[in-house]
Amino acid sequence: MPVSRRRQVQAPGIIRMPRWLAVLASVLGTILGLATNLYSTQFRDAIAASGRHISSAVVSAIIAAVVTSAATAFIYRWLVRRSQRNAQILPGEIKIQSDILDALADEHDSVVGRSLHYLEAKRDSSELVVFLHGLGLDANDFRPYMAESKFHCVALTLYGFNEDEKDDDRYRPISLQTHVQLLAYALKALQESNPRKRMALVGFSFGADVIFFLVQYCIESIRALKVSTALLLDPNVNCTTTTISSRIARVDENRPLGELVKILDSAGDVSEFRNLCEYLYKITSKNFAQIQRHAKDILEMWGSDSYDNFLDRMGQLARVTEEIHVVLSFDYESHFNTIARGAVGRGLDPTNLECSRYSHFELIGPRFLKDRLEGVLWREVGHFDWPEL
């Protein structure tokens, strides 16, 4: 049977600017232009003084046209930006077709016919920002930032991490390698549906690790994506930072409370305790067998207390993306100096490493994401990044 090459992306509704915005902008711009032309004595005096080679009427008309056009453009742009701030966040899904079989290395993982789900806030931005969540979490963790972002945002829920899939036998646990290859498949589908947009990847915790693993398992795919920026928030740096994963890996499914309570014991303050309570509440509502399998895989991938694997992966990722930024939370402070020195020794730019004053879970808060993404991406696309009409 021939392998189908079709890939279906059920995209959410496209945000289109209502025509009244353009009409309103034109009217306001025209009013401003006429006001400038008719009532600005400074303009009229300048016209009279420069009337040797061209009549004041002609110059006046040119000035009115320029002012009107500029005013219309900027007013329309302001209205577009204002409208986009209230973009809807809508669900979508990517159907996994049989063409994924060309990429899958593990023949025991059955995924064809299933779906990958995502949330999307579609805006007229030249940058498509794709968010990848932590172990056992989902796309909803990025919803607060997506609601106020100025970028076109997509937050993926990785395979098997939906609450609806918890008791669904069709979504049995898969290997980390298959998981990463499915992600590459999804990213390609998103790029094909947004061919004119630059792609930026933002990964948190396990999601940041997965960006590293894209290079390991899907090097050609990641090259083809031509990722503009990879922002990694608290990736693991060695085996000592896999605290939560190591405890999840040891959980006895028949008697889980002991190890889960130990995760809460690791909290350094009330705020972190609250975040961990919320984290455990979420992951216990998911397919725990899937989460535990990935936790065990993570331990194998970061099996040493050396930083060499982290620095190697950072260098490999830097070679296949235009720009890479790694932000470590305050919880990782004890690792930062050694990592930064190691980066310099390998010829990596140490300014792409940051030790934040934020805690681990605060890195996915809207305040932090707004500051970092608009600082990194907005300067790249420019403040006069005109919308696609």
pLDDT tens track of the chain, all 389 residues? 333 333 444 444 434 445 545 555 555 555 555 555 555 565 556 555 555 554 555 445 445 444 455 555 454 454 445 444 567 999 999 999 999 998 898 888 999 999 999 999 999 999 999 999 999 999 999 999 999 999 999 999 999 998 888 888 899 999 999 999 999 999 999 999 999 999 999 999 999 999 999 999 999 999 999 999 999 999 999 999 998 999 999 998 888 888 888 889 888 889 889 989 999 999 999 999 999 999 999 999 998 999 999 999 999 999 999 999 999 999 899 999 999 999 999 999 999 999 999 999 999 999 999 998 987 775 554 433 433 33
What gap in Å lies between CA 124 and CA 227, rounded to an integer? Answer: 19
- Torsion angle in degrees (nearest 10) through CA of 294, 299, 302, 305: 160
What gap in Å lies between CA 198 and CA 225, rounded to an integer? Answer: 9
Confidence (pLDDT) at 374 = 84
| Nearest one of 233, 226, 181 to 319, comparing CA atoms | 226
Please give the DSSP secondary-structure letter assigned to residue 155.
Answer: E
Confidence (pLDDT) at 322 = 94
Confidence (pLDDT) at 227 = 95
Confidence (pLDDT) at 379 = 54
Classify strands 127-132 and 198-204 as parallel, antiparallel or unpaired. Answer: parallel
| Residue 139, amino acid | A
Cα 120 to chain centroid distance, Å, stands at: 11
Write out the E strands in the chain: 9-10, 90-95, 115-121, 127-132, 152-157, 198-204, 229-233, 323-328, 353-355
Q: Which CATH architecture has domain 89-381?
A: 3-Layer(aba) Sandwich (3.40)
- Entry pTM: 0.77
Confidence (pLDDT) at 345 = 94
Domain boundaries, the chain: 19-83, 89-381
What gap in Å lies between CA 129 and CA 291, rounded to an integer? Answer: 25
